[in-house]
Amino acid sequence: MNEKNTPRDFFLHAGAFITLYFSAIALITLLFAVINQAFPDPLSVQYYYDPYTGPIRFAIASLFVLTPLTVYLFYIVQKEARLIPERRTLGVRKWLTYITLFIAGITVVGDLIVLIDSFLGGTLPTPFLLKAALLLVVMGGGLWYFLLDIRGYWMEHAAGSRYVGIGVLGVVLGSIVGGMMLIGSPMMQRDLRIDNQQVSDLSSISQSALSYWQQTKKIPATLDAMENDLGWYQIPKSPEGQPAYEYIPVSDLSFKVCATFKRESTDDINANVMYQGQGFVEEGEQWKHKAGYTCFTRTIDPALFNPMPVDLPVTPL
């Protein structure tokens, strides 16, 4: 005799499968990001980004919460099915199992098409092969588990089902640890965010000094002069706990801006074109710095602001 679906059955099974879907997505997102960082493509334009404010942070947080919950919910589902064999025939269980098989199948096919398309477009072979293998392992593992579940294999091999759960937890934990080792600890990322904010502020000060020179044909004597004479400008304040920014005039066309940084700069910060600034003599890696007190010299290029003569066509009378 078939068991009737109850609201508890629906939410128990729906919770187990939904958390499974999101856990798989988070795991793939995390590992794809790790692969991208471990094997960067030199042809891709690199911009600074904070891994803990993007998809990696959300993926790690999701795995911390959802993976243990998924394993626990499936443990309850399987345990009840062993105690009451009729529960294996619940409609909600059958529907969700086949939906999962369908989703896993089309996901593997669709993602492989995308990966092969990117590979044909010039993606490096190593990250392509790693991502393809990752998809086959994660989604293929899900297909394998639920195909055996449909045949009742896990009802007769309870220990094997528990080993699968333990293995999943181990893989996820290893992925989280590996990801955090590559991208750094939250404290390290906070330091980099502070340094990045200071680079942004120094760039703002430099651009304001340039605006001051454009209006007065002389560089400001102090930071306060910029704020008082420009009117619209407000001097950026250094992040809490950091020494105040310094501005030092050097000559009629050059000045220094200084800050104290927590860590040595990364290539990502120097690749971020939004901080390069316009109107200054090109000086290579403009914001590369060591940990500690660092000054940057900025030299205004007057040639960039001299109007070019324009030859207008003469219209005959």
Query: pLDDT for 11-29, tens place per residue?
Result: 998 999 999 999 999 999 8
Collapsing DSSP states into helix, strand and coil, what is residue 248?
A: strand
What does the pLDDT read at residue 308? Answer: 46
Confidence of residue 124 (pLDDT cuts 50, 70, 90): confident
Question: 3-state SS string over 160-204?
Answer: HHHHHHHHHHHHHHHHHHHHHHHHCCHHHHHHHHHHHHHHHHHHH
- 8-state DSSP, 258: E
Collapsing DSSP states into helix, strand and coil, what is residue 121?
A: coil
- CA-based nearest residue to 97, from 69, 77, 68, 72: 77
pLDDT at 56 over 60: yes
Extents of the domains making up the chain: 7-184, 188-305
- 8-state DSSP, 42: T
Q: C-alpha distances in angstroms, 238 versus 37, 97, 188, 231, 247?
A: 30, 55, 18, 20, 13
101 exposure class (CB count in 10 Å sphere: 0-12, 13-18, 19+) = middle
What does the pLDDT read at residue 301? Answer: 84
Model pLDDT for residues 33-43, shown as the tens digit of each residue: 888 877 877 66
Model pLDDT for residues 187-206, shown as the tens digit of each residue: 888 888 899 899 999 999 99
Model pLDDT for residues 201-256, shown as the tens digit of each residue: 999 999 999 989 988 889 999 988 888 877 788 889 999 889 999 999 999 999 99
Which of the given ranges, 101-105, 162-166, 176-180, has the highest pLDDT on average? Answer: 162-166
Mean pLDDT of 75-99: 86
317 exposure class (CB count in 10 Å sphere: 0-12, 13-18, 19+) = exposed
Collapsing DSSP states into helix, strand and coil, what is residue 310?
A: coil
Higher pLDDT, 120 or 70: 70
Report the mean per-residue pLDDT for the chain.
Answer: 82
What does the pLDDT read at residue 136? Answer: 84
Tokens representing 92 are 């909600």
- Bridge partners, residue 249, by sequence: 255
User: Cα(33)–Cα(218) distance, rounded to whole angstroms?
Assistant: 48
